[in-house]
Amino acid sequence: MSGENRFAFFQGKIVPIEEAKVSIMTSAFNYGSAVFEGIRGYWNQEQGQLYLFRLREHMERLWQNCRLLLIELPYTVDQLCQAAVELVRREEFRTDIYLRPLAYKSSQVVGVRLHDLESDCAMFAVPFGDYLDRPSGARVMVSSWRRLDDNTIPPRGKITGAYVNAALAKTEAHLHGFDDALMLCQDGHVSEASTANLFLVRQGRLITPPVTADILEGITRATVLQLAEDLDIETQERPIDRSELYVADELFMCGTAVGLVAIVEVDGRPIGAGTPGPTFTRLNTLFQAIVRGKEPRYRAWCTPVYPAAAPSSVG
């Protein structure tokens, strides 16, 4: 097994990673005109299998988001899924990974526009552990930076240039000694964390901001909502005030990179008992089993990378 990535999907084929290069004149590099996905792969040592979690849903969202920037992909969703599996299989990873598909304006021209430009798609994968290693829960602050709204740069689109907004909030939190930031919409309601969706629990009800709160329409968020329904946990999508964060019984964030992480403090105020709560723990325990292919009921969400008879190690 290689400890780093060796290949990339680039210009329609899998090539050595050092050959996957773009010019500094590339439109996407200069103007942020690209959309991307983050897809996690989870290694199951007992099964000798690596599972890509909700691969098709991610590729469908990539295709959908391309419409926002007039990116015309030369590949179907099926072809993108096949390329992803083949790329990761070639890497021979036996560890958790992160897969990054990127659809971008590939023309080498100077000029701010989306029309009359060529498009392409690339992918690479890297070994990836915990994005935020906080098993006892994360400490966050409400950022002074507001979330971009849908009529500025659509947050639902995973547009590369828009992530400067998240980076400003994340770094502000880091410089103030926190693990992450929570961001407010332009109207002052709670949106989400810097790069993760947000849930709170009050009086046994699981609550999350609606898609109209300038959030990413997260695939992990949708997963949590489905699991809550399956576990008979009452859910509600509605606007959330900043002050409601402080009086919540539980808070947690979720996303492809971060997984599920409890929030135990906001702006110096402890949340609940200041430890991960029971609703979060119940959901997270099930989620961790699902992503590693241990729950047959949810196996359709997990795409195996290696043939069933593949050994658990490479000789």
Give pLDDT tens digits for 211-230. Answer: 999 999 999 999 999 999 99
User: Per-residue confidence at 311, pLDDT binned at 50, 70, 90?
Assistant: very low
* Tens-digit pLDDT profile for residues 53-84: 999 999 999 999 999 999 999 899 999 999 99
Q: What is the arithmetic mean of pLDDT over 23-37? A: 97
Indicate the burial class of 222 (C-beta count within 10 angstroms; 0-12, 13-18, 19 or more).
middle
For residue 39, give the H/E element and its range. Answer: strand 39-44
* Tens-digit pLDDT profile for residues 130-161: 888 888 999 999 999 999 999 999 999 999 99
Q: What is the arithmetic mean of pLDDT over 100-114? A: 97
Q: What is the mean pLDDT of the chain?
A: 95
Strand, helix or coil for residue 248: coil
Q: Model pTM?
A: 0.94
Which are the catalytic amino acids? 158
For residue 121, pLDDT beyond 90: yes
Nearest-angstrom CA–CA distance, 57 and 199: 21
Give me the pLDDT at residue 312, please.
47
Q: Which two tokens stand for residue 203?
A: 């009086």
Please give the domain boundaries of the chain with CATH numbers for all domains. 7-129 (3.30.470.10), 138-291 (3.20.10.10)
Nearest-angstrom CA–CA distance, 257 and 160: 16
For residue 260, pLDDT beyond 60: yes
What is the number of other CB atoms lying within 10 angstroms of the CB of residue 17? 17
